[in-house]
Structure 1
Amino acid sequence: MTVAQRGFLLGVLVVLGFLIYLLGPVLTPFLVSMVLAYLGDPIVDWLERRGLGRTLSVCIVFLLVSLIFIVALLVVIPGLVKQVRIAIELLPTLGHWMQATLVPKLSEYADLPPDLFNLKDLSTRLSGHWNEGGGVLKQVSHAVSGSTMAMAGFLANAFLVPVVTFYLLRDWDHMVHNIGLMIPRNLAPTVIGLAKQCDEVLGAFLKGQLMVMLLLGLTYGVGLWMVGLQFALLVGLVAGLASIVPYMGFIVGIGIAMVMAVFQFDSFWQIASVVGVFVVGQALEGMVFTPLLVGDRIGLHPVAVIFAIMAGGQLFGFAGILLALPVAAVIMVLLVHLYGNYKGSHLYHASDKS
């Protein structure tokens, strides 16, 4: 890379970062569309290899995604909201049980005063806030509907995401090809090689780990529902989302489910069945889901995932969260590349010549 190319690249990165910082709220629907197009492009390419045209393939993918979205709106989301409402309404009862049963037992082993955890009052306050939520929601709805600009912005984003996603998905391969032609010819082999590595890393996470999260959430939710746990859908959703960090979903999910199971069930075997659901889910993740969907490709380290999401949100808000994982994947590949160059440079081997 020449000195002029280095200066130009640095200038492009600075300008790009500054524009993202300034245009974060405006860029959100476009970034969402880019992520959706990136995830949908392999499916469209697969349909193209089966002899379908690009536009027809995109329409088929859009139809499938729309059906999934409609099912989620009509079935999953109402059931989830209902379970959240019931869970919050039961908080006083759960708090009373913990105060009367769990806390005294913990106090015996830890030598703690029984009234140290005032869980009953806390749960009653939370339940009261939920009961008042209807009035709050009405106020928020009135404020939003009274703001023409806010409502127009919401409708514009809701309309832009599918439209922009459609055009990005239709022209994705063409845009990638044109971007490749813009790379300086002396840098093209290295940049294309790094881009392929970035795609492998990002694909291993987004195209693989997100599918693992979905399957784990379904496995936990259906399994807990079969066991008879009252809040199976809610616990399964939380465990699936927490699985964005490996093993975190298992830890968070089984912790919440065990509290619910001890509160709900009297039988030891029903409680053991809840544990069995998570053991089976973890076994499926390790032996089926991850090998099949992620394989042996290098993914993002769990610590890198957590730090990237937090740093992106802190620096650029919601747009930064959307960019966090792609940028983290690129940075990781570049660091590996720089480390290899450093190991082969005179800076690393200087002591051999002294």
Structure 2
Amino acid sequence: MALTVREQLKYWGIATALFLAALWFLGSVMLPFLVGGAIAYFLDPVADRLETLGLSRAVATALISVVALLIFILAALLILPLLGQQLLALINSAPKLLNQLQTFLTLHFPQILEQHGVAHQTLVTIGETIKSQGGKLANSVLTSAMTVINALVFIVVVPVVAFYLLLDWDRMVAHVDDWLPREHRPVIRRLAREIDAVLAGFVRGQLTVCLVLGTYYAVALMLVGLQFGLVVGAIAGLITFIPYLGALTGGTLAIGLALFQFWDQPLWIGVVAAIFAVGQTIEGNFLTPKLVGHSVGLHPVWLLFALSAFGTLFGFVGMLVAVPVAATLGVLARFGIRQYLNSMLYRGTEMERPGAIGAPPDTGAPGGKSGA
């Protein structure tokens, strides 16, 4: 006999509680496995495509791993050191830039920066905070984000986990499909396909958009000669998943730096602004429609709430699982709404009676034909 709705809710509630408890108690332990699983999920379509070209799953996985290793080595040798140097230099230069801003405002807008005004006190406070905490914050981020042991474990475990999950991905999916309860298997499969479509459309697509735009902004700003262009491009690309925020934040930071660096060369300031205008045009008209699409159904506000909530409760691991959880809850919510709209609770018995509002007209003849 099939389980009642109350019994099903009880078992699903227990599974959800166990999942949250595992995040709470094993978050730091689960981190490399979650990252490895995310990488495997991201690269599974690439492996499938290589299989269609005639390669075996093992050869496809090995080829992807070699290419990923080469990219990682290239980034570790060329990009990451430069990014770290520019980040430190930007933080160390922040007090000087702030003093220049204060001088500029004092010369051109003296009424804003009165000696005892709010704006003046705010700038002084920000400058003192940056001077006292900026270097400490940078050193903490760069040296204390992970201990050496954790870093080594992370670097070793993540590729191994990603390799084996990518190798056995299709087999694992088939086993999980066999474990689905027979009575609800069609519905669960349909919901799983919808969840996968949301994740594939958003995570894979949006990460690709972030990578493309971050690379474009960084390269373009460095070619222009903007100081800290690599950092600004990386920041703009990193937060591009939030519509307009990446370009707004990166553009404001880049134009602000350009004002100090190219104050007597307005042409280059315009070039920096044009770089972000072109980036927004490319993103809005080509990248996002092509790679992400308009049917993802993952609203930015809902995404921000999920990231904030899970990040507060479970730390960095919570932020990693926030997007899949948000996508799953969104699909389940839409499924629940569809069920409600097709239920008697919404439709009521009045809808079945001729003459009721919204009911089909009574033609007086079988089959919906008039008697005329």
What TM-score do the two structures reach when normalised by structure 1? 0.89
RMSD, matched Cα: 2.7
- Other-structure match for 2:347: 349
Aligned match for 1:250, one of 227, 247, 250: 247
| Greater Cα radius of gyration, structure 1 or 2 | 2
Aligned match for 1:333, one of 322, 331, 339: 331
- Other-structure match for 2:319: 321
Change beyond 3 A, Cα 1:223–1:165 = same
Compute the displacement of 1:349 (Å). Answer: 2.2
2:218 counterpart of 1:229:
no
- Specify the SS of the correspondent of 2:241: coil
- Other-structure match for 1:126: 130
Gaps of 5+ in 1: 145-149
- Other-structure match for 2:216: 219
Residue identity over aligned pairs, in percent, reads 37
Aligned-partner Cα distance in 2 for 1:268–1:139: 39
- Other-structure match for 1:147: none
Question: What are the residue-to-residue correspondences of 1:101-120 with 2, within 5 Å?
Answer: 101-108=104-111, 111-113=112-114, 116-117=119-120, 119=123
Gaps of 5+ in 2: 357-372
- Specify the SS of the correspondent of 2:81: helix
- Other-structure match for 1:271: 269
Alpha-carbon contact 1:91-1:124 (below 8 Å) kept = no
Alpha-carbon contact 1:99-1:120 (below 8 Å) kept = no
What TM-score do the two structures reach when normalised by structure 2? 0.85
For residue 290 of structure 1, what is the amino acid of its counterpart? T
Aligned match for 1:55, one of 43, 54, 58: 58
Aligned-partner Cα distance in 2 for 1:280–1:54: 40
When the two structures are aligned, how many residues end up with a matched partner? Answer: 345
Alpha-carbon contact 2:208-2:291 (below 8 Å) kept = yes
Aligned-partner Cα distance in 1 for 2:273–2:295: 30
| 1:133-153 Cα shifts (integer Å, max 9, x gaps) | 899799969xx9xxxxx6555
For residue 7 of structure 1, what is the amino acid of its counterpart? K
- Specify the SS of the correspondent of 1:76: helix
Alpha-carbon contact 2:297-2:330 (below 8 Å) kept = no
For residue 308 of structure 1, what is the amino acid of its counterpart? A
2:48 counterpart of 1:45:
yes
| 1:16-71 Cα shifts (integer Å, max 9, x gaps) | 32233222221111111111110011111111111111111111111111111111
Compute the displacement of 1:103 (Å). Answer: 4.7
Aligned-partner Cα distance in 2 for 1:40–1:139: 30
- Other-structure match for 1:32: 35
Aligned-partner Cα distance in 2 for 1:133–1:340: 49
Aligned-partner Cα distance in 2 for 1:290–1:103: 43
- Specify the SS of the correspondent of 1:117: helix
Compute the displacement of 1:120 (Å). Answer: 6.1
For residue 22 of structure 1, what is the amino acid of its counterpart? F
| Structure of higher RCO (CA pairs closer than 8 Å, 6+ residues apart) | 1
More helix by share: 1
Compute the displacement of 1:333 (Å). Answer: 0.4
Alpha-carbon contact 1:238-1:249 (below 8 Å) kept = yes
For residue 304 of structure 2, what is the amino acid of its counterpart? I
Alpha-carbon contact 2:210-2:241 (below 8 Å) kept = yes
Compute the displacement of 1:321 (Å). Answer: 1.1
Aligned-partner Cα distance in 2 for 1:318–1:283: 32
Compute the displacement of 1:295 (Å). Answer: 3.0
| 1:189-228 Cα shifts (integer Å, max 9, x gaps) | 1111111110111111111001101111111112222222
